[in-house]
C-alpha cells in the first residue's frame, strides 16, 4: 500500500513560525491551481496504475480556506486516476478559523473520514502572538462540528511565555472536545520567519524548558489514554495516522501540487516551490519536479534506522536483516554500546527508552555518522 499527498498552498495569513510553501495573498488563484492539480494527477495515472493507495492526505497551507467543492473534486480525481482502496484513510487539515457546517458536510459527503485540526494552543494570547487566525472558541465550535468523527489536534511547544499548565490545558481541551489523536511537537524557529527574531532575542523557551513541556504533555496524554506511537504523535487505540505510519515505515508515496514530495521505487523527487513555475510546467504538459535523487542502499539503510527509532515500536531486527542482509546488532555494536543507557532490545525490536524519546535525534545521529 502507498500514500497520496496533495499540497494546498493557500491561507488567510501566514503564521509567524511558518516556513512552508504557503501564499496568503494568492487565494484568487485557487480555482486555477486546483485545475492544475487535477491535471497533474491525470498525468501520473499510467505510471502508477499498478499501485494500490490506502491513504490520501490533503495538507497545506490551509486546505479548508478554499471552496469546499474543490476539495470534493480533488477526492473524486484521486479515485478516478488511482486505485484508492475502499476503506482508505482520507485526511484534510483544517484551521478552526476557516471551518463551517457547510464545508464539513461537503467533506463528509465526498468521503473524507479524518480531520487534522490546527489548535496549537488553548491560550488566546499565545494564538495571537504566533499569528493564528482562530480563537479557542472557534476551535471548540469546530470540534462540535466534528463530534463523533475521527479528528486530530495539533499542540505546539516552545511558545513565548508558555508554561506546563498551558500545555496541559491545551491537551485537555483537545481530548475533552473529542480528539482521537494529538500531535505534540516543538516549535522550530526558522531563519526568515518573524518568530526567528524572538528566538535570537532569547524570548522563547530553551531546549531544556521545551523538554520539560514535552514531559508534562506526554504524562497528561498517557493519563488520558493516548498512546505514543511516534515521538510527536499520540492516539487512542486504533486511531493512529495510517498516512504518517506509511512515512515512518519507509512506504512509498506520491505528492501533487507546489512543493509536494514523493518517493516511488526508491527515487525521491520534489515539485517546485514557485507557484508561477508550477502553473507554467503543468499547463505546458510537463511535470513540475525540480529535484530528484535515487536513494542507494546505504541511504535506504540510514532512512530505515532514523525513521524506525522515532517510533515507540522501534526498529524491527528481523525486518532489518531481511531488507539489508546484515545483523543490525552486530553491524552497529559499537553505537549500541555507546547508547546502552538510552536504548534497548525488547522482543525483537531495538528501541529508544521511553524517558529519552524527546531527545531521540541526538541518539539517532550516533548511528548515522
Alpha helix segments (H runs only) across 91-206: 101-110, 124-129, 136-145, 164-176, 195-200
Per-residue DSSP letters for 45-61?
Answer: TTTTTT-EEEEEEEEES
pLDDT at 359: 87
> Which region holds residue 319: left if phi is over 0, alpha if psi is between -120 and 50, else beta?
alpha
The model's pTM is: 0.95
pLDDT at 53: 98
pLDDT at 113: 98
pLDDT at 292: 97
Ranges of residues in the chain with a pLDDT under 70 are 369
Q: Which three cell numbers stand for residue 41?
A: 494527477
DSSP assigned state of 190: P
Distance CA 142, CA 308 (A): 34
Summarize pLDDT for 195-252 with one digit per residue, the tens.
888 888 888 899 899 999 999 999 999 999 999 999 999 999 999 999 999 999 999 9
In 3D, which of 233, 127, 106 has the Cα closest to residue 170? 127
DSSP assigned state of 189: P
> SS3 for 89-117, per residue?
EEEEEECHHHCCHHHHHHHHHHCCCEEEE
pLDDT at 366: 87
CA dihedral 11, 16, 17, 21 (to 10 degrees): 30
In 3D, which of 340, 339, 351, 348 has the Cα closest to residue 313? 351
pLDDT at 192: 82
Q: Which three cell numbers stand for residue 196?
A: 526567528
**Which residues are bridge partners to 263 per DSSP?**
253, 268
pLDDT at 16: 83
pLDDT at 367: 84
Of the CA atoms within 13 Å of residue 284, those in its CB half-sphere come to 9
Residues with Cβ within 8 Å of 219's Cβ and at least 6 positions away in sequence, in order, are: none
Q: Which three cell numbers stand for residue 244?
A: 504518517
Q: Which three cell numbers stand for residue 139?
A: 476551535
> Which region holds residue 192: left if phi is over 0, alpha if psi is between -120 and 50, else beta?
left
pLDDT at 235: 98
Measuring CA to CA, how many Å separate 255 from each of 6, 166, 167, 202, 247? 6, 35, 33, 37, 12
Amino acid at each position: 500500500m502507498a500514500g497520496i499527498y496533495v499540497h494546498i498552498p493557500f491561507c488567510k495569513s501566514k503564521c509567524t513560525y511558518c516556513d512552508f510553501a504557503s501564499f496568503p495573498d494568492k487565494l484568487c488563484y485557487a480555482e486555477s491551481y486546483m485545475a492544475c492539480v487535477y491535471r497533474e494527477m491525470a498525468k501520473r495515472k499510467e505510471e502508477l496504475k499498478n499501485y494500490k493507495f490506502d491513504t490520501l492526505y490533503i495538507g497545506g497551507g490551509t486546505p479548508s480556506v478554499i471552496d469546499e467543492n474543490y476539495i470534493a473534486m480533488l477526492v473524486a480525481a484521486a479515485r478516478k486516476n488511482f486505485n484508492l482502496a475502499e476503506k482508505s484513510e482520507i485526511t484534510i487539515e483544517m484551521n478552526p478559523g476557516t471551518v463551517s457546517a457547510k464545508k464539513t458536510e461537503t467533506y463528509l459527503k465526498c468521503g473524507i473520514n479524518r480531520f487534522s485540526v490546527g489548535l496549537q494552543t488553548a491560550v488566546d494570547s499565545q494564538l495571537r502572538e504566533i499569528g493564528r487566525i482562530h480563537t479557542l472558541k472557534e476551535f471548540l465550535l469546530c470540534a462540535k462540528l466534528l463530534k463523533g468523527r475521527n479528528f486530530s489536534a495539533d499542540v505546539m511547544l516552545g511558545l513565548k511565555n508558555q508554561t506546563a499548565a498551558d500545555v496541559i490545558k491545551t491537551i485537555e481541551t483537545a481530548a475533552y472536545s473529542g480528539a482521537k489523536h494529538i500531535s505534540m511537537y516543538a516549535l522550530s524557529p526558522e531563519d526568515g520567519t518573524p518568530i526567528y527574531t524572538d528566538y535570537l532575542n532569547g524570548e522563547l523557551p530553551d531546549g531544556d524548558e521545551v523538554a520539560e513541556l514535552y514531559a508534562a504533555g506526554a504524562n497528561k496524554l498517557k493519563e488520558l489514554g493516548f498512546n505514543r506511537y511516534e515521538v510527536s504523535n499520540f492516539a487512542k487505540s486504533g486511531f493512529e495516522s495510517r498516512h504518517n505510519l506509511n512515512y515512518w515505515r519507509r512506504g512509498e508515496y506520491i505528492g501533487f501540487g507546489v512543493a509536494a514530495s514523493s518517493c516511488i521505487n526508491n527515487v525521491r523527487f520534489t515539485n517546485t516551490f514557485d507557484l508561477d513555475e508550477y502553473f507554467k510546467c503543468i499547463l505546458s504538459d510537463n511535470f513540475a519536479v525540480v529535484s530528484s535523487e535515487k536513494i542507494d542502499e546505504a541511504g535506504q539503510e540510514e532512512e530505515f534506522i532514523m525513521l524506525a527509532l522515532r517510533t515507540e515500536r522501534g526498529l524491527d531486527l528481523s525486518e532489518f536483516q531481511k531488507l539489508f542482509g546484515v545483523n543490525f546488532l552486530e553491524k552497529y555494536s559499537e553505537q549500541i554500546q555507546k547508547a546502552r543507557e538510552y536504548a534497548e532490545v525488547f522482543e525483537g525490536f531495538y528501541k529508544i527508552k521511553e524517558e529519552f524519546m524527546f531527545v531521540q535525534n541526538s541518539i539517532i545521529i550516533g548511528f548515522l555518522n
